[in-house]
Amino acid sequence: MAGSDPIRPNRLRLVRWTAVAVVVTLSPAGSLRAQVASRVAAPSSAGMDSARAGEWTLTVDGALAHPTGWVQVRENAIVGTRLSLGPDLGVRAASTVRATLGIPVGAGALRVAIAGTALLGRVLLPDSIHFNGSTLAPGTMLKTRTEPGDFLRVVIAYERRLARVGQEGALDVSAGLDATLLNFRLQGTLAPASVGHETKEDFVTQELPAPFLGAELRLPLARRLGLDFAADGGGLPWVSSFRYEGGLVSLTQRRLDGQADIDVALASHLRAGVGVQYTDFRQNEQSHEDGNQFEQSSLGGVLRMRWAF
């Protein structure tokens, strides 16, 4: 057609397609597609946050560490021998299994954990030793048989987000109560002149829950990898246990824990991690009749599995 503008139809088509694109984008379906596209395009460390809103979590840890420390148990005037875990008792490893349930509460999560530690060893006694008023004979085999059910730690804590770190990292803080339930058990041959006949000490009888504070820093490394640092510590000064055993028993205790691990997302709600763990626990109970002390520090490796549901 003479005098017609050949570019005008193209402009009209461009305007029509632009209008259609705007309508589709603003529609619910278009909005959903945009959200899906943005999630696919952006790298994600989903699952790295252990306390995402509305999710329950179950974490199972297994740790194997080299322990150092000692135990000493007095009974009345019979002062117990100070027994080191390694040279005197032959305890070369401490194995721990821990399960932690995370329950979403408000803006944070309630953590309930229980851990059992085994201290097992054997050694030939070069000299007689005293433990809880009993004397064990030299030249006989002494066994340490503190099983996971004898060395339990129960923790109840509340965890909450303190700050975001970068785009996807997080810093959480926690506070709670920690109860260590220890029955330290030995097996050996009593000397003929032994006054006592017990070769275990139930520290748990005088136990009190101790307050603690903790923090955890989680950082993304890659699409599925995360780096985790955690530490907590607490304890009790010298306080009354409110229990009597040959007089009122006073006690003090302290604990310090630290852990660093790398974890990977195996599935949308399943992560696995490997790292190192340090723990230091000290407990001292004193009365006219009893004088019980236990110290243990350990450093070792830890494996972790975490489910979110």
Whether the CB-CB separation of 109 and 167 falls below 8 Å is answered with no
Question: In the CATH scheme, what is the code of domain 51-308?
Answer: 2.40.128.100
pLDDT for 171-189, tens place per residue?
999 999 999 999 999 999 9
pTM over 0.85: no
**CA 159 to mean position of chain CA atoms:** 13
Read off φ and ψ for residue 15, nearest 5 degrees. Answer: -65, -40
Sign, Cα dihedral of 59, 62, 68, 69: positive
170 residue type, one letter: A
Whether the CB-CB separation of 230 and 214 falls below 8 Å is answered with yes
Residue 308, sorted as left (phi over 0), alpha (psi -120 to 50) or beta, turns out to be: beta
Tokens representing residue 22 in the block: 């705007």
Domain limits of the chain?
Answer: 8-39, 51-308
pLDDT for 215-253, tens place per residue?
999 999 988 999 999 999 999 999 999 998 888 999 999
pLDDT value, residue 162: 95
Task: Mention every residue, 6+ apart, whose C-beta is less than 8 A from residue 85.
Answer: 67, 68, 69, 70, 71, 91, 119, 121, 144, 296
